[in-house]
Amino acid sequence: SLVHVVETLGIPRTEIGELRVDAEGVVEVPALSRPQRLAQPRFVLDVHLGTLARRMRLLGLDTAYRNDATDPELVAQAAAEGRVVLTQDRGILRRKALAPGSGYVRGSDPDAQLRDVLERYDPPLAPWSRCLACNGILEAVTEPEVRHLLRAGTRRSYREFSRCRSCGHPYWRGAHAGRLTAIVAQATGRT
């Protein structure tokens, strides 16, 4: 098929916009609209996108990621959990089993990658609501609830904590908070 011909040129089917020869439309291909709003914005990222996965989680996006997942595992997880695949591997995007909306993430700069994802999907954001380690939901907790997980200096210096419901990892606004707040501010348009 024509799709296979285009894919042999290295263009994944999910990235095909329109086909032209000498500036004339040859085949009617519905243009990819931006943003591509998803009914349930749920993502699974390939092994090359770990930093992007953590930043998406920081913004509250449901983002599955494993640094050891194989291509077939990614595709199977996407199908089983209703997720779109974000990847830098064009081969993955050639798989027919992918959900509509799966896409290629351009570039190597995590800031640019995040902008690309936010512009492409315009997902609703809920910053500070997901665990950066496992994607679980965070809940506010008191210091005594996480005291056994904290160093003495952290216990003395901070009063507000949250904890992941899934893995139990504690969070607080530590020395890294300024950098993370800047990422959130840029993503939410409050720079």
Using alpha carbons, select from 165, 182, 85 the residue that is nearest to residue 131: 165
> Which residue among 74, 90, 121 closes a domain?
121
Mean pLDDT along residues 65-69: 97
Is residue 111 located within the same domain as residue 49? yes
Residue 36 lies inside a defined structural domain of this protein: no
Predicted TM-score of the model (pTM)? 0.82
For residue 191, pLDDT over 60 is answered with: no
> Which residue among 121, 154, 179 closes a domain?
121
For residue 8, pLDDT over 90 is answered with: no
Number of domain units in the chain: 2
What residue numbers bound the domain in which 170 lies? 138-187
Q: 144: number of CA atoms within 13 Å, CB side?
A: 0
Is residue 142 located within the same domain as residue 76? no
Residue 19 lies inside a defined structural domain of this protein: no
For residue 4, pLDDT over 90 is answered with: no
CATH of the domain at 83: 3.40.50
For residue 51, pLDDT over 80 is answered with: yes
163/105 Cα distance (integer angstroms): 30
DSSP state of 106: P
> Which residue among 93, 121, 149 closes a domain?
121
Instruction: Tokens for 73, please give them.
Output: 């595992």
Q: Please report the pLDDT score of residue 33 as a whole number.
A: 66
Write the secondary structure of 24-57 as one string of H (helix), E (strand) and C (coil): EEEECCCCCCCCCCCCCCEEEECCCCHHHHHHHH
Q: Please report the pLDDT score of residue 12 as a whole number.
A: 62
Helix (H, G, I), strand (E, B) or coil at 101: coil
